[in-house]
Amino acid sequence: MKSKYFVVDASVLPEVFEKVIELKELLYRNKVKDISEGVKVVGISRSTYYKYKDCVFSLSESVKGQKVTLGLLIEHQKGALSVILDEIAKHDGNILTINQDIPINNAANVTITFNVTNMDIELNCLVEKLSGLKNVIKVDLIAME
């Protein structure tokens, strides 16, 4: 199933989504020591958190530029990362950070944060294009700001 992303007003969503985002922010800011403590603070179950944590993101309206962080799993092949970066640049994405783990079992995790303000393609379409590239195993939207 292909992912499709929407920006939706929180007032029309079940409260659980807001609590998952609240917990993610608590963890990020080290306000809770772990997920077990966090779920007690926000009032949801661990299973609820794990079910939605990779599917719900907050959108910061206070930032003029819009940043996106993608997590990719790519095959350890010469030029694989370069092709991904070229695809983002081709659509006027401005790369801000790149983090790549050491390849294990011939695959590496890569996190790329880039500015999408001037992009000429919708994020859904870009994720789809990246997913279809040779040597790309998986693409996930990690965050948007």
Contact 84, 72 (CB under 8 A): yes
Per the domain annotation, does 57 fall within a domain? Answer: no
* Domain of residue 25, residue span: 10-52
Please tell me the distance from the alpha carbon of residue 59 to that of residue 63, in angstroms, as a whole number.
9
Q: What is the mean pLDDT of each run of 10 residues along the chain (145 residues)?
A: 72 91 88 94 95 78 68 96 96 95 95 92 89 94 83
Listed in sequence order, the DSSP H helices in the chain are 15-28, 35-42, 46-52, 80-90, 123-131
Per residue in 109-134, pLDDT (tens digit) is: 999 999 998 888 888 889 999 999 99
- Domain count across the chain: 2
Contact 112, 95 (CB under 8 A): yes
Contact 140, 54 (CB under 8 A): yes
- pTM greater than 0.85 (yes/no): no
Per the domain annotation, does 31 fall within a domain? Answer: yes
The label of the residue with tokens 């790149």 reads 98
Per the domain annotation, does 126 fall within a domain? Answer: yes
The reply to whether 41 and 89 lie within a common domain is no
